[in-house]
Structure 1
C-alpha cells in the first residue's frame, strides 16, 4: 500500500456484500479498528462507549437516505444526486454510453432531460416531474447499490438510527452501527451526541472524483456545544467524513465546496469514526488530514492484514488524533 498516492490493493473477499444482519451479526456487532497515531487495536463496535471519555462529543449527520435510483422507460438506471438551487438535478446515467445534451429520458410521471455535463459522469438535468426531488424519489426510487453488493436491499438498511432529514443520495454510512443500544450506552457513559446535516450526493464506486458542492447545516446549538466541549478539554469526534466537511465549512447553512486535502489544518474535530474507504478514494485524503499519513498507513495495513470488511455494510475505523 502507498498512502502517498492513496492507493492499495483491496481483495474481493474483503468487500462486505450484505448488511451485517444478513451475515448473522448484529448491526452494532461489526468490528472496530482504533488508530491512536500509529498504534492500532481491535474491538467490536459495542466497545465504543468504553473507548471514549465522559465529556467527549460525537457529531452525527442526521441526513436520511433517499431511494435515489430510478429506471427509465428504456431500462437505463439513473442515480439522482443533488437538486441544485436553480431546480435542476444532477444525475448519473449508469452503464450508458449515449449521454448527450438534449437527451430525454422517460421516467415515471415525467421526464429528465440532460442539459450539460457536470463532471466526467454526472449531468445537469431538467426535471419535468411532479413534486420536488425528495417527494418524487420517495414515490418512485429504490436505494442505490453497486456491484459489490449481492442484491437490492430495503431502504431501511441504508438508514441510520438518528436519520431525520431526508436528502442524501447515498447513506452517510459511518453511523450505521450506532444503534439505539449503543447510543444509550454512550449517554450512560457521559458521552454527548449532537447533529449536523449534510445531504450526500452520488459518489460513484468507479470514479474517484473530489466531492462537489453539497448542502449542509450546522445548527447553532451544535456549534455552541462544540465550543463548550473543547473549552473543557474534551474531544469532538466526527461520525463520518460528511460531518468533517460540514464542520470545517463553518456554522450556519448553505452549499459547501470544501475539499479537504492532507495539507489542510483540521480545526474542528479531534477524531473521526468512518468506514474503510476504497483504493484511491478522495476520502483517504481527508483521513490523512485528520490523522496523518503514518497513522493511516498503519491502520490500513492492519485492516488488510486482519481482514476487515469494506464499504457501507462493512467494519468501522476510529481515528484519534
Structure 2
C-alpha cells in the first residue's frame, strides 16, 4: 500500500484560515459508506443522525499555549520553542526553530526574562530537552507568554485562544487541538443529550506527530508517535452500556477513535485505564468498537487520511474529498466536518436490539 494513493490536490483558498463566528455554522458532509451515498448538510443537522441510546465520545484534552517566542540573551537572536511533552516539573521535550540557535547549553529568554530555558540535550530526531526557570506557577507564566500552536498552514493570527479549544476541554496536555470537536457548542451538546444520546469524555493528549505527513512510501513502514490517553470509569460505563444495548458508538475525531480502539477488547467493550498508545489505523484494520466518526477534512498523505479510509474505504473517501473540493468545503483545522456512518449497519443493530432477525 503506497502513501501516494492517499494524495489529492487542494486549492490553497480552501484551507480555512480562521474559525467561523459561530462554531456550529460549519457544513457537514454525511457519508453513508454502506450505500456509498453522500449528503450535504449543516453541522447542526448531526442531531438528526443520532439515535436515543447512541454514545457520542469526545476528547476533553486541552491545548497548551505551547508556542513561545524568545531570544538569546546576548545576541538577541530570535528563537521559537514549541512544547511537545512534559518530562517532569520543569523539563520539557520541545521543537526549537531555528535549531542552530538552540544548541546544548544555550539559554533562551521569554517575556524579557519572566521565563528562561536552558537546552540540556539535542536528541537524534532534532528535538530538544530544555529546563525552564521562572517565578511562580509555570502554567500561569505559560498562559501569559504562550501562544496557541496553530498549524503552519494557518497564516492568520488567532485573536481568541478559546477558539482553538473545544467547549468541553478540561485536561491540559495537547500540542494541537482535537479539531473535530471544535464544531460543537454547549447548546448543541445539550440538544444531543436531550435526544437520549449519552456523551462520554475520554482524554488523549494530541502530539504533533498525529498530523504530520507519512514520510515513507510504503504505508506499513510508518511509525506513529506515542500519545498519552485516559479513560475513566464513568466513560467506560457509558460506552459499555451503549455497546451491550446494541446502540452505536460515535467517535468525535480521530483522537477519540484511536483512544477507543486502543482500549477495546474483541467484543468492543472497554475498561477504565490510562497509558500510552501508538496505534496506527490504516485500510484493512477492523474496528472493534467505533461505529461512526465525526471528523474534519485532513491533509493529504497523513495518518488521518489512512484512518478515515480504513473506516469508509479508500475509494469512497477519495471520491468524497473530490466532491468536497467541487462544493468548496473548508479544509483542515478550522474547516468543515464530515460524518462517516453506515445506515445499513445502524438499521441492523436496531433490529437486533429489538429481537428481530
Is the structural similarity TM-score above 0.5? yes
Q: Which of these residues, 279, 297, 305, is aligned with residue 258 of structure 1?
A: 279
Aligned to 1:246: 259
2:187 alignment partner in structure 1 = 181
Are the equivalent residues in 2 in contact too, given 1:10–1:278 (CA < 8 A)?
A: no
Determine the C-alpha separation between the residues in 2 that align with 1:158 and 1:207: 21
Q: Are 2:333 and 1:312 equivalent residues in the alignment?
A: yes
The correspondence for 1:27, drawn from 23, 35, 58, is 23
1: CA distance, partners of 2:13 / 2:107: 39
1:144-176 alpha-carbon deviations (Å, 9 max, x no partner): 123433223321111111112122121111111
Structure-2 residue corresponding to 1:172: 178
| Correspondence for 1:83 | 86
Q: CA deviation at 1:116?
A: 2.7
Partner of residue 163, structure 1: 169
Match of 2:9 in 1: 9
In structure 2, relative to structure 1, the CA distance for the partners of 1:101 and 1:206 (3 Å cut) is: farther
Evaluate the alpha carbon distance shift between residue 86 and residue 211 of structure 1 in structure 2; reply closer, same or farther with a 3 A threshold: farther
Mapped partners of 2:213, 2:136: distance in 1 = 30
Change (3 A) 1:16 1:283: same
Q: Does 1:231 align with 2:234?
A: no
The question of whether the paired residues in 2 share the 8 Å contact of 1:249 and 1:258 is answered with yes
Partners in 2 of 1:85 and 1:36 — Cα distance? 45
In structure 2, C-alpha distance between the alignment counterparts of 1:258 and 1:302, rounded to whole Å: 29
Q: Give the alignment partner of residue 190 of structure 1, picking from 184, 193, 196.
A: 196
| Whole-angstrom CA distance in 1 between matches of 2:279 and 2:50 | 28
CA deviation vs aligned residue, 1:96-119 (integer Å, no higher than 9, x gap): 555544444333422141513363
- 1:91 Cα offset (Å): 1.3
Q: TM-score, normalised by structure 1?
A: 0.89
Whether the aligned pair in 2 keeps the contact of 1:49 and 1:191 (CA below 8 Å) is no
Q: How does 1:282-301 map to 2 (within 5 A)?
A: 282-301=303-322
- Aligned residue runs from structure 1 range 200-211, under 5 A: 200-203=206-209, 208=214, 211=224
Q: Which one has the largest radius of gyration? A: 2
How far has the Cα of 1:85 moved from its partner?
6.0
Q: Is the 8 A contact 1:276 1:317 kept in 2?
A: yes
Deviation at 1:257, TM superposition (A): 2.2
What is the CA–CA distance in structure 2 between the aligned matches of 1:225 and 1:288, rounded to whole Å? 27
Distance 1:255 1:139, change over 3 A: farther
Q: Partners of 1:11 and 1:96 in 2: how far apart?
A: 31
Residue 127 of structure 2 corresponds to 122
1:106 aligned counterpart, secondary structure: strand
Residue in structure 1 matching 2:154, options 148, 155, 173: 148
The 2-side partners of 1:234 and 1:76 are apart by: 51
Are 1:267 and 2:288 an aligned pair? yes
* Superposed displacement of residue 54, structure 1: 1.4
CA distance in 1, matches of 2:254, 2:88: 23
Unaligned runs of 5+ in 2: 72-76, 216-222, 264-270, 343-357
How much does 1:263 deviate?
Answer: 2.8
Between the aligned partners of 1:116 and 1:197, the Cα distance in structure 2 is 30
Contact 2:198/2:238, CA 8 A, preserved across alignment? no
* Worse overlay, 93-102 or 218-227: 93-102
Matched residue pairs, number?
315
RMSD: 2.5
TM-score, normalising length from structure 2? 0.80
1:132, 1:254 → 2: CA distance?
Answer: 26
Question: How far apart are 1:127 and its partner, in Å?
Answer: 3.6
Aligned positions of 1:44-55 closer than 5 A? 44-55=42-53
In the TM superposition, what is the alpha-carbon distance from 1:260 to its structure 2 partner? 2.1
SS of match in other structure, 1:20: coil
Q: Any unmatched runs of 5+ in structure 1?
A: none
2:144 to 123, 139, 146: 139
1:222-248 Cα shifts (integer Å, max 9, x gaps): 112212111211110111111112112
